[in-house]
Structure 1
Amino acid sequence: MMFPDLMFGILFFSQMGIGIFGNFFILGLYSLTLLIGHKLKPVEYIFAHLALANSKVLLSKGIPQMIVSLGIKNFLDHVGCKLFVYLQNTSRSVSLSITCLLSGFQIITLSPSNSRWAELKIQAPKCIVPSCFLCWCFFLLINFTLIGTMHNSRYLTNNTKIWHLGYCSILTPASFNTALFAIVFSIPDVVCVGFMIWSSAYLVFLLHRHHQRVKHIHSLHFSARAFPEIRATQAILILMSTYVSFYSINSGLSFYFFKMEKPQPWLVATLDLLAACFPAISPFVLIFCDSQVLKYWDVLWHRKCCCLLCHTVASQTPSQNSSRAL
């Protein structure tokens, strides 16, 4: 096992472990809420779908790359290669679209009652769940066409071009227009990222205007971070800025990857590592910026500490009793 492979394996293992823990915490919390008969808020449905999409991104990218880091390469067959690439692209696109939906819902929620978004405030909560399922269906269908352009290396001919992903190989005809394919399939991503950038600026504008209107009723003892309007917006702003940053870097490297005649293995691993950064970070942004989720996180953490304390006290009790008896 080479040192770069070992380093990438450690990075993927750490990233996947931390990200899966955070996303599964959110999914478990909302599942438990539904099981005990409580209803979720509209924004919590978005959080749940985002956590599910992020978990799929982490698993579909982390597991194959961890196996490659152990020295096992090209272990996926024709069907497995298609399936993993299909899951990676679909879950990544759904994660982006759900984040975009979250930013749009936040704009509608925080917009003043006299704005043009006011009419949507009543209807928006009813459209959250159908919109989330529409995102899944749309990208499941659009990425399904990607399978038709993929071939396994065992069917290699003189009229094909091959990209090695480490865990499998993708083959396309030599006449296949890579640039056109990348442009067509990146249009939804570019639209979502553009909307997220615009919504971030608009949210900052709404936040500043609302803060100027209500600052006279806030106590001087409260810091700016404690204002409700700031807590309502900071999570989405952090999510959008994080995604746009990683998406820009990943897109530039992806374009370079498709232009290379023989891509290096480290570039493939770097692309997967960057693509999984947002799914690993986003659940903790939601946990520590959303007061409701943070409350359950604190309860879980304090309960764990109490259990450890009780276990320590119980283990010390027999020795104390024996010393007293003596």
Structure 2
Amino acid sequence: MRMTIQEKKMMPSEVILVSLACSNLMHVLSVGLPHSLHHFGEIYFYKDFDCKIDVYLMRVSRVMIIGLTCLLSCFQCVTLASLNPQWATLKHKMQKYLILLIIIICVISVISSINTALYAVTERNATDLKYTFNLGYCLVVYPDRLVLELTGFISFARDVAFVVLMALASAHILLILHRHGKQMKGKRSSDRSQEAGVEQQASKMVVAFVVTYVSLFGIETTIWFYQISVSKQGDLSLNDSRYFLSFCFSSLFPMILIAYNQKLRQRIMCCKL
């Protein structure tokens, strides 16, 4: 954010990255802080309203992360393929309506996360743990199994749609990079280094984001299906595993960003000096 303010302009991909960074920060605070304090024996929430707000922010930020990662992968895919006139037109439209696309993802996140927050209560106010997801410091107590499964499967369908789209976009990015690599084999190393530009590094970063998220999402979803079909929803260890996996992407995000963003690495080195 500081770099973009200093340079007084933001590229479309940087707008998405800044939004993604903010979403990851919100997710870290809404998941990591209360979980950490709970394990140290601190009482983080005293009222149901506080618990609902935290669960709501946690769910909204999670959906924002997956939606913005999907948008970033699609935009980078279109950018790489923009030599084709049809893709160039699509790239222009995505740049023109980028803020609108981010707002749409935000609206989807806000609306689709309401149901989970409605059933969040503090541990002291819960009496029936039959259809419950236990966060330790908060409980999400559903009124019956139908509401639990309906809410879960709607969220799952939404997330899978984003994951499939980002996976397809990443696969196309890898295909373009593979073709470009073949074209570079017959050229001199000096020419090759000149043509290996920022877009390729950005594409590799996006693919790294997607591979990391899809891997974590796959494990998290497997645990969730196990909870719904076999295990008790109140099992704290399984819920801790799910939220740890959800927390992992937000923790790995800055590392991947620094590893693939040369401009950011240079700025960090200048700050150290």
Name the SS of the counterpart of 1:173 in structure 2.
coil
TM-score (norm 1): 0.74
Question: What's the counterpart of residue 61 of structure 1?
Answer: 31
The correspondence for 2:51, drawn from 67, 81, 97, is: 81
Q: Which residue of 2 aligns with 1:120?
A: 90
Confirm whether residue 134 of structure 1 aligns to residue 99 of structure 2.
Answer: no
How do 1:282-293 and structure 2 match up within 5 A?
282-293=253-264
In structure 2, the residue corresponding to 1:237 is in which secondary structure? helix
Distance 2:97 2:185 in 1: 33
Q: Which residue of 2 aligns with 1:263?
A: 234
* Alignment partners' CA distance in 2, 1:235 and 1:158: 45
Identity over aligned pairs, percent:
27
Counterparts of 1:282 and 1:238 in 2: how far apart (Å)?
10
Contact 1:73 1:166 in 2 (8 A): no
The structural deviation recorded for 1:272 is 1.5
Q: Is the 8 A contact 2:60 2:110 kept in 1?
A: yes
CA contact (8 A) 1:82 1:150 kept: yes
Q: What's the counterpart of residue 136 of structure 2? A: 166
Indicate the SS of the match to 2:136: coil
Tell me which amino acid in the other structure corresponds to 2:143. Answer: P
Structure 1 Cα separation of the partners of residues 210 and 237 of structure 2: 27
Worse-superposed segment, 232-241 or 65-74: 65-74
What TM-score does the superposition give when structure 2 sets the normalisation length?
Answer: 0.88
2:196 alignment partner in structure 1: 227
Aligned to 1:6: none
Note the alpha carbon deviations across 1:150-181, whole angstroms, 9 max, x for none.
45566656696433320022222135442222
Q: Provide the secondary structure at the position in 2 that maps to 1:169.
A: strand
- Map of 2:68 onto structure 1: 98
Contact 1:250 1:271 in 2 (8 A): yes
Query: Aligned residue for 1:183?
Result: 153
In structure 2, what residue type is equivalent to 1:84?
D
- Give the 3 Å change call, closer, same or farther, for CA 198–262 of structure 1 in structure 2: closer
- Rate the CA distance shift 1:150–1:297 in 2: closer, same or farther, 3 A: same
The answer as to whether partners of 2:133 and 2:233 remain within 8 angstroms in 1 is yes
Decide which moves more: 226-235 or 176-185.
Answer: 226-235
Q: Which residue is 2:269 aligned to?
A: 298
CA–CA distance in structure 1, aligned partners of residues 211 and 72 of structure 2? 13
Tell me: CA distance 1:203–1:221, structure 2 relative to 1, closer, same or farther (3 Å).
closer
Deviates more, 1:69-78 or 1:113-122: 69-78
- Judge conservation of contact 1:153–1:171 (CA < 8 Å) in 2: no
SS at match of 2:132: strand
Q: Which moved more, 1:73-82 or 1:247-256?
A: 73-82
2:182 aligns with: 212
- Unpaired segments of 5 or more residues in structure 2? none
Q: Within 5 A, what are the aligned runs for 1:8-27?
A: 27=1
CA-CA distance at 1:267 after TM superposition = 2.1
Residue 197 in 1 paired to residue 167 in 2? yes
Q: Using the alignment, how far apart are the partners of 2:95 and 2:264 within structure 1?
A: 19
Q: Structure 1 residue 257: deviation in Å? A: 3.0
- Are 1:39 and 2:9 matched, yes or no? yes
**Structure 1's 268 and 73: CA in aligned 2 closer, same or farther, altered over 3 A?**
farther
Question: Partners of 1:245 and 1:298 in 2: how far apart?
Answer: 31
Asked if structure 2 preserves the Cα contact closer than 8 Å seen for 1:61 and 1:276, the reply is yes
**Contact 2:72–2:206 under 8 Å retained in 1:** yes
Does the CA-based 8 Å contact 1:153-1:162 persist in structure 2? no
Deviations 1:264-289 (A, max 9, x none): 32222222211011111112211221
- Residue 119 of structure 1: SS of its match in structure 2? helix
